[in-house]
């Protein structure tokens, strides 16, 4: 299956570099480019990409707002944030907007390819370092400023263990190895956890795990 890509960046040279590299892989197809958030919305509506590579700092409409609007559309694409800036406000803003992954532009080529394929498969790309920062961010907030959470659900012991491993930043293969089960079983556990806790993705799972005492700052990674 070919993964259809839309590259969004205000610098033409960066868009060209990504396109020249990505189009050499037979399972990837660059269907369009956009120079800002407004153009990204227009191009996405016309081209129906599977994955959008989204820059953060752009004129007219930044990547966070564009991501929020894209993910609110019917059958939205997965969004991979690609940025030069490793700043908390961008990480949290992008994840809260519905991005499926966050990657710095100095990441290796193999890491970029992995990220595209992972989020296209329906997973989130949350590295242990970003997971730790999510937990530390919420830990530092006064309790009154923290988001309300769903009351604890009746998770099974294995589902609770899966939740903790998600919160520590482990991927599905790593969770499977830790629990000595298949990846299909892990996906089943994750699906049950998300359904019972009314969670959208791994970022929300991390927040829930901290808020409800399943994990504490310093335990991630």
- If one counts every other C-beta atom within 10 angstroms of the C-beta of residue 155, the result is 17
Query: Distance (Å, rounded) from C-alpha 180 to C-alpha 2?
Result: 32
Token representation of residue 88: 């908390």
pLDDT of residue 121: 82
Query: Distance (Å, rounded) from C-alpha 154 to C-alpha 220?
Result: 23
Query: Distance (Å, rounded) from C-alpha 191 to C-alpha 197?
Result: 10
Query: Distance (Å, rounded) from C-alpha 180 to C-alpha 63?
Result: 39
- Is 70 exceeded by the pLDDT of residue 144? no
Summarised one tens digit per residue, pLDDT across range 12-65 is 999 999 999 999 999 999 999 999 999 999 999 999 999 999 999 898 899 999
Q: Which domains does the chain have, with CATH numbers?
A: 3-125 (3.40.50.2300), 143-211 (1.10.10.10)
Model confidence at 208, in pLDDT bands (50, 70, 90)? confident
pTM of the model: 0.71
Query: Distance (Å, rounded) from C-alpha 127 to C-alpha 32?
Result: 28
Query: Distance (Å, rounded) from C-alpha 123 to C-alpha 208?
Result: 18
Summarised one tens digit per residue, pLDDT across range 156-203 is 989 989 998 988 778 788 899 999 999 999 999 999 998 888 887 777
Nearest to 68 by CA among 39, 36, 95, 106: 95
Contact 81, 56 (CB under 8 A): yes
Token representation of residue 152: 């604890």
Query: Distance (Å, rounded) from C-alpha 139 to C-alpha 211?
Result: 9
């Amino acid at each position: 299956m070919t993964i259809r890509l839309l590259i969004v960046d205000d610098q033409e040279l960066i868009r060209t570099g990504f396109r020249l590299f990505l189009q050499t892989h037979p399972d990837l197809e660059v269907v369009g480019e956009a120079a800002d958030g407004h153009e990204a919305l227009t191009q996405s509506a016309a081209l129906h990409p599977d994955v959008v590579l989204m820059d953060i700092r752009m004129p007219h409409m930044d990547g966070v707002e564009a991501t929020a609007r894209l993910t609110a559309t019917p059958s939205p694409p997965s969004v991979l944030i690609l940025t030069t800036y490793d700043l908390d406000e961008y990480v949290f803003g992008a994840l809260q907007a519905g991005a499926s992954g966050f990657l710095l532009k100095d990441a290796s080529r193999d890491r970029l390819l992995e990220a595209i394929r992972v989020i296209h498969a329906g997973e989130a790309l949350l590295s242990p370092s970003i997971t730790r920062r999510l937990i530390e961010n919420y830990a530092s907030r006064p309790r009154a400023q923290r988001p309300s959470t769903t009351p604890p659900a009746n998770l099974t012991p294995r589902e609770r263990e899966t939740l903790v491993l998600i919160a520590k930043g482990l991927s599905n293969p790593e969770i499977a190895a830790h629990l000595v089960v298949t990846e299909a079983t892990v996906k089943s556990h994750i699906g049950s956890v998300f359904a019972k806790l009314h969670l959208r993705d791994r970022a929300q799972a991390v927040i829930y795990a901290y808020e409800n005492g399943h994990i504490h700052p310093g335990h991630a990674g």
